A and B are shown apart, each in its own frame.
Chain A
């Protein structure tokens, strides 16, 4: 293995929760975010270090240090995982402080095995998921949604909220279906003894009542983002506020604007202002889930379901023993008593493909059809009475002289003379 040159700034000291300190050497990974850079640690393959950028102000660093110290001291209780999955990292939670030259520089966290995981974003597109080795059937998707809701529920129980919850910040274990949330140092914490805000938001996952405003109720914001992610997971990536304008009033082009105006087209009571996109399969969702979606997206926060409610609602679908999900005739998993969403989607896509091929065939045949029409018009051999009437109407605007029985070549010869005459007349008259 080639030796890597270590700079002095790569030598840092870890401060573990029990007070033990340890000197380690960092190795660059090339991964960098808005707040800091990720480093590997020599001799600790199960951990990575997040070192805040050198441009971070001392005041910000001090705030980060207080928050990280509190997080190390108050690790939340996470959903239980089977013994054989103990190496799964559900939260990239701070494990130890990192000091460089006795000054706070970042924190240590457990490393998420990137080869065993994929971004939740990939699950929103079945083809991408398949390319990453994830067979995204409805049973597995519901399980992922259930695990995500469980994790968020545990955080909320400790009065910790994610706020900037979005698919890019969530990793999914491909085989085990557990999820892992990144960027924990950006969480909102509001306990009696400690408080830290989370200013980072993503408009596409931001609840309508917080668009253009500070997030006043972080748990409610998490509820909105969680519902959005679950909706997209189950509906082939379609965002709940993607739709087609239903009336003549202004329809915002960006998702944030539609969220702000609560233009949600997938409710059990159809919206008059906006229509669903044709490829949506939301009608195959079970009624309890549809009710939760309606409350999450159409209520403006008053009755938005909490993560706990999502856990309760999804638990039976995530359990094989419950029988809440059953195979359809083609073997796809579906919600029992509902049409199969996979078959629905296939039919919709196939219909779209048939229409696309038909359109392309029409475009391809257009020149030949046009020539045929012109030929019939010239020869007055239209078989359709409508076309015949239309063709006659084009030339009965004036009383035409009977067509001279001359060939096309003769006509071209005469027109050469006409064009010459017109050019001559132009030269004399100009």
Chain B
């Protein structure tokens, strides 16, 4: 897929997301996460697809740390500003917890992100390249777990809804067509 095609596909998907967005206000912590990921995404789009050689070489070691520490910063600062718990934005789809429990989870998430960012720096500079690759691979498993969670609890029910929608449309069309032919 060429960079232009990838950009167009992504932009089209975001356009659909904008048109179908829920017409109710998002929490401030959700907005902050959205804006942050928008910035990280713009960087990724530019340096990942269009200007890859122009990216500073030393940044490769820092990239995972930037992600984890940015997340950690948001997770720590946003509740301090009174804008809610970002952990609830990430995990609230699945679990129902009290505010106190969300605070603890938020702190845990911050600790994990800080540790992961630090370990990445240590592994990038002190460990062998193979071990560093192994560490990054292990971290990506967290993303896989999130994907599996969303697949089970969100994407499959949405798919079922979509299937039901198309099934209804197809049966209605069939009835209409058969009555028209009769």
Contacts and interface: CB of A to CB of B under 8 A. Distances in A.
Contact of B64 (A368, A417, A429): A429
A361 interface: no
Interface string A388-407: 00000000001111100010
B94 A415 contact: no
A232 to B, nearest CB: 49
Nearest to A420: B41
Mostly, the A contact residues are helix
B157 A421 contact: no
Contact of A400 (B10, B13, B94, B136): B94
Contacts of A424: 37, 40-41, 44
Interface in B138-158: 139-140, 143, 146-147, 150, 153-155, 157-158
Contacts of A83: none
A428 B44 contact: yes
Interface stretch (A109-117, A137-145, A371-379): A371-379
A11 B94 CA distance: 96
A132 to B, nearest CB: 44
B51 interface: no
B113 to A, nearest CB: 11
Interface string B65-99: 01110000000000000000000000011111000
B140 A430 contact: yes
Given A415-B154, A420-B10, A428-B64, A375 B96 contact: no
Contacts, number: 107
Interface residues of B, number: 46
Contacts of B160: 371, 374-375, 378
A386 interface: no
A416 B16 contact: yes
Contacts of A398: 94-95
B180 interface: no
B17 interface: yes
B165 A411 contact: no
B158 to A, nearest CB: 5
The 10 closest A-B pairs by CB, nearest first: A428-B67, A413-B20, A416-B17, A409-B20, A410-B22, A413-B17, A427-B44, A374-B160, A424-B41, A408-B161
Contacts of B162: 408
A418 to B, nearest CB: 6
Nearest to B44: A427
Contacts of A409: 20
A430 B96 CA distance: 31
B40 A428 contact: yes
